[in-house]
């Protein structure tokens, strides 16, 4: 499934988001190639979440978002983007709290074209997250943070996306859970052929997992490059941490 | 004495089925959109007049009227949501927008008084077998009409419960109620789903109307008295909870039936409102409220 | 408004008032069916009175009561019963009725004020219906005959001012007019008083008002008492005009709903809106009745009311008062131009993007607030369902000390703030301020003790101006509005917002809103200030100004507890740092020691060591 469009799956051009008078994102451009894991890093309030929300259409933006080929996403309502292959797991998991794990997962394949494959998809995600099978009939809000994150990712995968966005997937998780989720993201990418764009505050978690990274500072793009380049870049610590390297 | 109480309880329970049905409709919309629909009772009245005129003009038995009223009321509810409520929800940021409450209040005033103008304020009744037929069970009398209304409630609750928990549209309605943004990301068009929810909640009034018309008077103001009780039931049974609405309806009917043995029905009404306020104060999530923090 | 414009507006208002007063006399002289027209006039005045009274709690405070007819009924019944049984003049009965209604309001407020929006509306309906049905069923209370649903008849005695009875309708019109003017004057006074400021702010954000030391429950209660009293006064008037009252007609849901509709149409929360609503709707009702064949159809006018309500909600949710006011302004300006020549162009407000802090003296907080005292948070734990917000957290802030609170997203920083300021009550542990336990106190009490806060996501009162925002905070400690205004100006000057005094907060930029919130917190004269990410979301240009502002605040000598994400900034302004992670405190020490601690770097930013 190599794209004829130079291998780019997502291309963001000069994306700008305003909340009232406040410029949350200013002329950010980036691209994600088929099969990559790309991360967006930055401190709180740097515009990481806003970027993802703009890509999935939850917030209005100026500029261009192109997906798969040259198709522009501007003007496509959020609920039509999953059928194009674009899934998005929001910050803090956001499960349907008063539904069971199974119901949450089934809703991931709500779109009619996905329903015929639903049993198979369910088998796949439960193979990926074995604990979910045990929790099937538990209400989502009673799960632990790590389990909730697993359900959230599994629910997104039920939609069989080509491109998965994860907003702070490691937030509030224990170190062991962070490793586990990282491993799952790698598996999804390597074996499932899903391209991943995620954001994260921590450099450690981000660059260890991703092929390339972008660093945002106050809504602007400050640095970008492969993970190796970024790690070697002396500006990383200064820009990102606001501190000289200890 | 015991027999009197049991008889009262029995009659009350049976009428409680109707209360439960109306509360069910109210709760579906509240549970999904956090919208308090002041026009719910008036829409019941519309259904009753439809059933009444179907009977008078074509001789259709009220129990068959849902064949006409349910689709018609569904379409009406869908349209009301589309034209009146959606534009407001798009504008409001509040979770429980008062503007929608005022909008449905306006609608209720219009419909009720329009009916008063068109059909006058006399009490209209339909004479069918179920109007006066009773079954004698040992020492107790069961009104056939009330019995079937009770069955209708049980059937509708079961059907709605299955719909909400087993079908994709039903789950989507609950999902949109719990997290609209995520629902959108999973491909659900929340606006269309709201339309369906409102349509279904209105369509349920067609069933309640069919069950009610054979043994109750049809009158433009009939909705208002049921509406206030339905609010009590929704709060009693839990906001957004379907079984809660059904059980709450039965409980209210029971209280009315038993108290009615000793004194006027109006005393039961006072008691209900007192319970209502106490519930709001002490247990705002309701006795069976599940889908609510 | 120019002074000459103000004079013209006043003159026009007086002319209008006199014209309205002349309507009954003119009708009597000119029209054959004058009794009917005067009666319509009286109804307009009566409904305007009711809707204006309703608006004090419904509009000013945003608590939609759908049971106000209950107060009307209590007023009507109290004065009538006093007159029939004890021969008390209804004029005196009017005051007694108001008092009874206010007492009932106080009783109702206890369960109802905990409810929001639709639930408050439903609870008020329930109360009114209980009263109506109870009244209909009751023949006598404590031996006093009230005749249940049959109601009470006041026997006519001819013209008697003492008995509040007149044979001509015009007298009722003048009394209604006087009562309406009184009601409007009270509504205006409430709007312009400290109560009015609090109510407007509560309508925007009740929690933020609590954090400024205002007991919001008492404020809402005061509004309800005034509203109930005035509605009951209208009730006595109704009884004396009709001379026949029943529970069904006085405590009717329709009547309550009409008050709501008139206020909504005119403009919720405005002084004159409900009057406009009545002026439009009552004649509309009369016309509809006339067009649809007299009184055979009771509810015809309600169809029109319903349609108007739906149109207003859909298209002008703020009511029509704004449009009418603007039209009046234009008229006044046009007359002023005719009389005095065109006005000079106003000076444009200069927008200063970068903070310019004024030179000069500080606020003298230390002197005003008294000696700084230590805050100790001791082993505090707070769980939310399965998640832990704070686990055995201990934090000390010494007198005059500046402590920073850092940690990644979700580490519990804001939870700690909510615990200290009373928005949450810890499950275990103690919080002491100056040695006094404060955990579990309501937010406004904690603020009164000298702890102020800002919110992570700024919460200005968006419908108030910058100065009014700060006045809400200053009022609990100021004797007069003027003093509060002066204090607000001082605080806004201190944060560099002097040029924005009269700008509505909704129009301020994010940076300005942050500074407005600081000014608001400072106006409560805190001994300890909790700042939640005041630097967050600021662009680089305004950062130095904000840092300077924080330094100025610390020079005031008060203690500070600061949440901040930018490590560079926080090490510049604090004496000590506390690091939270997953709800637990993991480090506490000098800023440099904490931020260079490998474990802190590892958790907070991600160490490079563990990368491969």
Residue A101 to chain C, least CA–CA distance (Å): 16
Exposed/middle/buried for residue C462 (C-beta within 10 Å: 0-12, 13-18, 19+): middle
> Which residue of C532, C537, C610 to mutate against A (max A Cβ within 10 Å)?
C537
**Is pLDDT of A211 > 90?**
yes
For residue C222, what is the enclosing H or E element? helix C216-242
Q: Is residue B122 part of a domain?
A: yes
In this structure, the answer to whether residues C309 and C384 fall within a common structural domain is no
Give me the mean pLDDT over the C115-137 stretch: 89
Residue of chain B minimizing CA distance to C289: B117
Q: Is residue C355 part of a domain?
A: no
- Judging contacts by C-beta atoms under 8 Å, the chain C residues touching residue B228 are 125-126, 129
- Report pLDDT for C408: 77
Concatenated DSSP letters of C516-549 = HHHHHHHTT--SEEEEE-SSTT--GGGHHHHHHH
- Report pLDDT for C462: 85
Partner A contacted by C534 (CB < 8 A) = no
Q: Which residues pair with A31 in a beta bridge?
A: A11
Partner B contacted by A113 (CB < 8 A) = no
Partner A contacted by B178 (CB < 8 A) = yes
- Judging contacts by C-beta atoms under 8 Å, the chain B residues touching residue A77 are 184, 189
**Is pLDDT of A29 > 90?**
yes
In this structure, the answer to whether residues C166 and C274 fall within a common structural domain is yes
Say how far apart CA C233 and CA C102 lie, in whole Å.
Answer: 11
**Is pLDDT of A179 > 50?**
yes
Concatenated DSSP letters of C56-122 = HHHTSS----S-THHHHHHHHHHHHHIIIII---HHHHHHHHHHHHHHHHHHHHHHHTT--HHHHHH
Strand C387-397 and strand C402-406: the pairing is: unpaired
Partner B contacted by A221 (CB < 8 A) = no
Q: Which two tokens stand for residue C255?
A: 């009547």
Give me the mean pLDDT over the A78-86 stretch: 93
What does the pLDDT look like over A132-155, one tens digit per residue?
999 999 999 888 888 999 999 999
Exposed/middle/buried for residue C84 (C-beta within 10 Å: 0-12, 13-18, 19+): middle
Residue of chain A minimizing CA distance to C385: A142
Partner B contacted by C251 (CB < 8 A) = no
Partner B contacted by A161 (CB < 8 A) = no
- Report pLDDT for C572: 85
What does the pLDDT look like over B93-143, one tens digit per residue?
666 678 899 999 999 999 999 998 888 888 888 888 888 888 888 888 888
- Report pLDDT for C364: 72
Give me the mean pLDDT over the C85-99 stretch: 96
Q: Do B87 and C133 touch (CB under 8 A)?
A: no
Structural domain total, chain C: 2
Q: Do A208 and C611 touch (CB under 8 A)?
A: yes
Angle formed at CA B12 by CA B135 and CA B32, multiple of 5 degrees: 120
Say how far apart CA C68 and CA C101 lie, in whole Å.
Answer: 10
Domain range enclosing C284: 3-13+35-329
Q: Is residue B161 part of a domain?
A: yes
In this structure, the answer to whether residues C302 and C244 fall within a common structural domain is yes
Question: For position B62, which CATH number holds?
Answer: 1.10.3470
- Report pLDDT for C294: 55
Q: Which two tokens stand for residue C3?
A: 């002074």
Q: Which two tokens stand for residue B123?
A: 């009490």
- Report pLDDT for C66: 94
Give me the mean pLDDT over the C215-219 stretch: 92
Band of residue A185 on the pLDDT scale cut at 50, 70, 90: very high
- Report pLDDT for C447: 92
Residue C454 to chain A, least CA–CA distance (Å): 17
Say how far apart CA C506 and CA C464 lie, in whole Å.
Answer: 8
At A57 the three-state DSSP class reads coil
How is residue B218 annotated by DSSP?
B
User: Does residue C231 contact residue C40 with C-beta atoms inside 8 Å?
Assistant: no
**Is pLDDT of C539 > 70?**
no
- Report pLDDT for C20: 83
Residue C91 to chain A, least CA–CA distance (Å): 54
Q: Is residue C120 part of a domain?
A: yes
Q: Is residue B288 part of a domain?
A: no
Angle formed at CA C434 by CA C433 and CA C437, multiple of 5 degrees: 45
Per the prediction, chain C carries an average pLDDT of 87
User: Does residue B47 contact residue B204 with C-beta atoms inside 8 Å?
Assistant: no
Residue of chain B minimizing CA distance to C110: B281
Which residues have CB under 8 Å from C524's CB, separation 6+?
C212, C213, C447, C452, C473, C474, C476, C477
Partner A contacted by C544 (CB < 8 A) = no
Q: Do B280 and C122 touch (CB under 8 A)?
A: yes
Say how far apart CA C232 and CA A40 lie, in whole Å.
Answer: 63
**Is pLDDT of C433 > 90?**
yes
- Report pLDDT for C1: 63
Give me the mean pLDDT over the C320-342 stretch: 86
Partner A contacted by C540 (CB < 8 A) = yes
Residue of chain C minimizing CA distance to B221: C299
More confident call, B293 vs C197: C197
In this structure, the answer to whether residues C200 and C306 fall within a common structural domain is yes
- Which candidate from A45, A145, A204 shows the least CB-CB separation from C537? A45
What does the pLDDT look like over B213-235, one tens digit per residue?
999 999 998 988 889 889 888 88
What does the pLDDT look like over A90-134, one tens digit per residue?
988 899 988 999 999 999 999 999 999 899 999 999 999 999 999
Q: Is residue B51 part of a domain?
A: yes
- Report pLDDT for C417: 93
Chain B residues whose C-beta is within 8 A of a chain C C-beta are: 36, 84, 87-88, 91, 94, 96, 98-99, 101-103, 105-114, 116-117, 121, 220, 224, 228, 231-232, 235, 264, 266-267, 269-270, 273-274, 276-278, 280-281, 284
Q: Is residue B107 part of a domain?
A: yes
Band of residue A194 on the pLDDT scale cut at 50, 70, 90: very high
Prediction ipTM score:
0.92
Domain range enclosing B117: 2-282
In this structure, the answer to whether residues C309 and C410 fall within a common structural domain is no
Q: Which of C329, C361, C382 is the last residue of a domain?
A: C329
Partner B contacted by C198 (CB < 8 A) = no
Torsion sign across C-alpha atoms C142, C143, C149, C151: negative
Q: Which two tokens stand for residue C164?
A: 């509040």
Q: Which residues pair with C465 in a beta bridge?
A: C504
Contact partners for chain C, using 3 or more CB pairs closer than 8 A, are A, B
Q: Which two tokens stand for residue C59?
A: 């509009």
Torsion sign across C-alpha atoms B171, B172, B176, B177: negative
Band of residue C322 on the pLDDT scale cut at 50, 70, 90: confident
**Is pLDDT of B6 > 80?**
yes
Q: What does each C-alpha distance from B7 to B262, B264, C144 come to in angstroms?
A: 13, 16, 37
What is the rounded end-to-end Cα distance, in angstroms, of chain B? 43
Nearest to A168 by CA among A76, A2, A48, A85: A48
User: Does residue A233 contact residue A200 with C-beta atoms inside 8 Å?
Assistant: no
Highest average pLDDT, of A42-46, A190-194, C99-103, comes from: C99-103
In this structure, the answer to whether residues C321 and C411 fall within a common structural domain is no
Q: Which of B259-263, B266-270, C242-246, C343-347 has the lowest mean pLDDT?
A: C343-347
Q: How many other β-carbons are positioned within 10 Å of the β-carbon of residue C395? A: 21
Nearest to B224 by CA among C256, C134, C261: C256
Question: For position C550, which CATH number holds?
Answer: 3.40.50.300
**Is pLDDT of A4 > 70?**
no
- Judging contacts by C-beta atoms under 8 Å, the chain B residues touching residue A94 are 179, 181-182
Q: Which two tokens stand for residue C411?
A: 């580490």
Partner A contacted by C586 (CB < 8 A) = no
- Report pLDDT for C278: 95
- Report pLDDT for C291: 78
How is residue C424 annotated by DSSP?
S
Q: Is residue B100 part of a domain?
A: yes
Q: At what angle do helices B98-119 and B222-237 cross, to 10 degrees?
A: 150
Per the prediction, chain B carries an average pLDDT of 88
In this structure, the answer to whether residues C288 and C408 fall within a common structural domain is no
Structural domain total, chain B: 1
- Judging contacts by C-beta atoms under 8 Å, the chain A residues touching residue B293 are 97
Band of residue B3 on the pLDDT scale cut at 50, 70, 90: confident
**Is pLDDT of C355 > 70?**
no
In this structure, the answer to whether residues C173 and C313 fall within a common structural domain is yes
Maximum distance among all Cα pairs of chain A, rounded to whole angstroms: 55
- Report pLDDT for C611: 35
Exposed/middle/buried for residue C248 (C-beta within 10 Å: 0-12, 13-18, 19+): middle
Which residues have CB under 8 Å from C155's CB, separation 6+?
none
Q: Which residues pair with A22 in a beta bridge?
A: A19
Give me the mean pLDDT over the A26-35 stretch: 94
Say how far apart CA A116 and CA B92 lie, in whole Å.
Answer: 37
Q: Do C605 and A241 touch (CB under 8 A)?
A: yes
More confident call, C183 vs C8: C183
**Is pLDDT of C69 > 90?**
yes
Alpha helix (H) residue ranges in C292-382: 300-315, 321-340, 365-369
What does the pLDDT look like over C459-518, one tens digit per residue?
889 889 999 999 999 999 888 999 999 999 999 999 989 888 898 888 887 788 889 999
Give me the mean pLDDT over the B162-179 stretch: 92
Q: Which of C271, C300, C329 is the last residue of a domain?
A: C329
- Judging contacts by C-beta atoms under 8 Å, the chain C residues touching residue A19 are 510
Question: For position C276, which CATH number holds?
Answer: 1.10.3470
User: Does residue A92 contact residue A49 with C-beta atoms inside 8 Å?
Assistant: no
Q: Which residue has the tokens 């909504």?
A: C264
- Report pLDDT for A161: 95
User: Does residue A42 contact residue A216 with C-beta atoms inside 8 Å?
Assistant: yes
Which residues have CB under 8 Å from B71's CB, separation 6+?
B203
Q: Which two tokens stand for residue C402?
A: 């500046």
Say how far apart CA C208 and CA C503 lie, in whole Å.
Answer: 19
Say how far apart CA C571 and CA A125 lie, in whole Å.
Answer: 45
Q: Radius of gyration (Cα) for chain A, nearest Å?
A: 18
Strand A8-19 and strand A22-33: the pairing is: antiparallel
- Report pLDDT for A239: 65
Say how far apart CA C246 and CA C73 lie, in whole Å.
Answer: 8
In this structure, the answer to whether residues C417 and C289 fall within a common structural domain is no
What does the pLDDT look like over C95-122, one tens digit per residue?
999 999 999 999 988 888 877 778 889 8
Q: Is residue C27 part of a domain?
A: no
In this structure, the answer to whether residues C305 and C388 fall within a common structural domain is no
**Is pLDDT of A245 > 60?**
no
Q: Which residues pair with C499 in a beta bridge?
A: none
Residue of chain A minimizing CA distance to B186: A108
Q: Is residue C158 part of a domain?
A: yes
- Report pLDDT for B96: 63
Partner C contacted by A171 (CB < 8 A) = yes
Q: Do A98 and B187 touch (CB under 8 A)?
A: no
User: Does residue C525 contact residue C365 with C-beta atoms inside 8 Å?
Assistant: yes
The fraction of chain B above a pLDDT of 90, given in percent, is 45
Q: What does each C-alpha distance from C449 to C208, C471, C475, C554 come to in angstroms?
A: 17, 19, 16, 19
Q: Is residue C347 part of a domain?
A: no
């Amino acid at each position: 499934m190599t794209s004829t469009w130079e291998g780019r799956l997502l291309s963001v051009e000069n994306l700008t988001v305003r909340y009232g008078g406040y410029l949350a994102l200013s002329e950010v451009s980036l691209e994600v190639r088929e099969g990559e894991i790309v991360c967006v890093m930055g401190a709180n309030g740097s515009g990481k979440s806003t970027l993802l929300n703009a890509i999935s259409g939850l917030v209005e933006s100026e500029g261009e978002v192109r997906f798969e080929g040259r198709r522009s996403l501007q003007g496509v309502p959020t609920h039509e983007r999953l059928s194009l292959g674009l899934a998005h797991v929001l910050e803090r998991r956001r499960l349907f709290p008063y539904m069971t794990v199974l119901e949450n997962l089934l809703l991931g394949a709500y779109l009619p074209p996905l329903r015929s494959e639903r049993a198979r998809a369910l088998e796949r995600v439960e193979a990926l997250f074995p604990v979910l099978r045990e929790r099937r009939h538990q209400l989502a809000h009673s799960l632990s943070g790590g389990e909730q994150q697993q359900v959230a990712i599994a629910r997104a995968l039920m939609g069989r996306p080509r491109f998965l966005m994860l907003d702070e997937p490691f937030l509030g998780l224990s170190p062991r859970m962070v490793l586990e989720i990282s491993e799952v993201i790698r598996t999804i990418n390597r074996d499932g052929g899903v391209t991943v764009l995620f954001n994260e505050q921590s450099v450690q978690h981000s660059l260890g997992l991703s092929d390339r990274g972008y660093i945002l500072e106050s809504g602007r793009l400050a640095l970008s490059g492969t993970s190796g380049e970024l790690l070697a870049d002396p500006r990383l610590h200064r820009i990102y941490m606001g501190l000289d390297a200890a | 004495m015991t027999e009197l109480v049991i008889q009262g309880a029995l009659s009350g329970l049976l009428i409680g089925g109707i209360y439960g049905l109306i509360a069910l409709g109210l709760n579906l919309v509240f549970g999904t959109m956090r919208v308090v629909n002041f026009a719910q009772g008036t829409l019941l009245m519309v259904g009753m007049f439809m059933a009444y005129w179907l009977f008078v003009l074509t001789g259709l038995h009220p129990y068959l009227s849902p064949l006409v009223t349910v689709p018609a009321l569904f379409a009406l509810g869908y349209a009301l949501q589309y034209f009146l409520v959606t534009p407001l929800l798009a504008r409001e940021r509040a979770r429980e927008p008062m503007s929608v409450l005022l909008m449905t209040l306006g609608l209720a005033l219009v419909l009720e008084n329009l009916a008063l103008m068109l059909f006058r304020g006399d009490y209209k009744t339909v004479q069918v077998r179920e109007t006066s037929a009773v079954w004698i069970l040992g020492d107790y009398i069961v009104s056939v009409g009330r019995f079937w209304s009770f069955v209708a409630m049980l059937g509708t609750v079961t059907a709605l419960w299955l719909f909400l928990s087993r079908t994709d549209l039903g789950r989507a309605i609950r999902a949109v109620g719990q997290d609209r943004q995520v629902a959108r990301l999973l491909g659900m068009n929340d606006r269309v789903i709201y339309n369906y929810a409102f349509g279904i909640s209105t369509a349920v009034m067609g069933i309640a109307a069919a069950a009610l018309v054979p043994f109750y008077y049809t009158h433009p103001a009939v909705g208002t008295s049921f509406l206030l009780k339905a609010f009590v039931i929704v709060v009693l049974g839990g906001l957004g909870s379907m079984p809660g609405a059904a059980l709450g309806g039965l409980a209210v009917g029971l209280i009315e039936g038993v108290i009615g043995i000793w004194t006027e029905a109006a005393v039961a009404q006072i008691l209900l409102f007192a319970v209502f306020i106490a519930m709001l104060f002490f247990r705002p999530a309701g006795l069976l409220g599940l889908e609510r923090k | 408004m120019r002074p000459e414009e103000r004079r013209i507006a006043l003159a026009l208002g007086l002319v209008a008032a006199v014209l309205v007063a002349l309507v009954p006399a003119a009708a009597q002289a000119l029209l054959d069916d004058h009794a009917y027209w005067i009666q319509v006039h009286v109804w307009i005045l009566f409904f305007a009175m009711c809707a204006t009274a309703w608006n004090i709690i419904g509009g000013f405070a945003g608590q939609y009561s759908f049971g106000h007819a209950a107060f009307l009924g209590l007023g009507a019944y109290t004065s009538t019963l006093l007159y029939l049984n004890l021969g008390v003049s209804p004029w005196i009965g009017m005051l007694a009725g108001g008092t009874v209604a206010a007492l009932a309001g106080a009783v109702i407020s206890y369960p109802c004020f905990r409810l929001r929006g639709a639930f408050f509306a439903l609870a008020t309906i329930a109360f009114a219906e209980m009263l109506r049905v109870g009244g209909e069923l009751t023949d006598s209370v404590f031996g006093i005959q009230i005749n249940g649903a049959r109601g009470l008849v006041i026997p006519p005695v001819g013209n008697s001012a003492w008995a509040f009875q007149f044979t001509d309708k015009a007298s009722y019109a003048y009394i209604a007019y006087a009562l309406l003017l009184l009601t409007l004057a009270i509504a205006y006074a409430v709007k312009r008083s400290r109560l009015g400021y609090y109510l407007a702010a509560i309508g925007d954000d009740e929690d933020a008002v609590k954090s400024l030391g205002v007991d919001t429950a008492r404020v809402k209660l005061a509004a309800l008492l005034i509203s109930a009293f005035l509605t009951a006064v209208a009730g006595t008037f109704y009884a004396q005009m009709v001379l026949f009252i029943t529970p069904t007609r006085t405590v009717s849901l329709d009547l309550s709903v009409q008050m709501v509709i008139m206020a909504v149409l005119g403009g919720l929360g405005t002084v004159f809106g409900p009057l406009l609503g009545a002026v439009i709707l009552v004649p509309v009702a009369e016309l509809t009745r006339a067009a649809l064949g007299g009184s055979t159809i009771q509810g015809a006018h309600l169809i029109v009311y319903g349609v108007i309500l739906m149109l207003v909600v859909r298209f002008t949710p703020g009511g029509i008062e704004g449009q009418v006011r603007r039209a009046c302004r234009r008229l006044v300006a046009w007359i002023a131009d005719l009389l005095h020549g065109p006005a000079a162009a106003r000076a444009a407000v200069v927008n200063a993007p970068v903070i310019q802090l004024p030179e000069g003296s500080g606020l003298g907080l230390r002197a005003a607030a008294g000696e700084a005292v230590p805050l100790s948070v001791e082993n505090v734990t707070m769980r939310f369902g399965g998640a832990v917000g704070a686990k055995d957290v201990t934090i000390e802030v010494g007198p005059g000390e500046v402590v920073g609170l850092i940690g990644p997203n979700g580490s519990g920083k804001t939870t700690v703030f909510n615990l200290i300021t009373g928005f949450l009550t810890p499950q275990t542990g103690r919080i002491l301020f100056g040695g006094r336990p404060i955990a579990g106190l309501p937010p406004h009490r904690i603020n009164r003790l000298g702890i102020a806060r800002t919110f992570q996501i700024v919460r200005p009162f968006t419908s108030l101006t910058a100065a009014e925002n700060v006045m809400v905070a200053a009022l609990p400690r100021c004797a007069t509005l003027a003093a509060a205004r002066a204090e607000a100006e001082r605080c806004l000057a201190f944060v560099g917002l002097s040029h924005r005094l009269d700008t509505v907060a909704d129009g301020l930029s994010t940076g300005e809103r942050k500074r407005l919130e600081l000014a608001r917190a400072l106006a409560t004269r805190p001994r300890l200030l909790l700042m939640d990410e005041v630097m967050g979301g600021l662009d680089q240009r305004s950062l130095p100004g904000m840092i300077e502002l924080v330094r100025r605040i610390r020079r005031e000598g008060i203690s500070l507890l600061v949440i901040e994400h930018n490590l560079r900034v926080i090490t510049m302004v604090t004496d000590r740092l506390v690091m939270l992670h997953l709800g637990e405190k993991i480090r506490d020490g000098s800023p440099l020691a904490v931020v260079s601690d490998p474990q802190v770097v590892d958790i907070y930013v991600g160490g490079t060591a563990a990368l491969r």
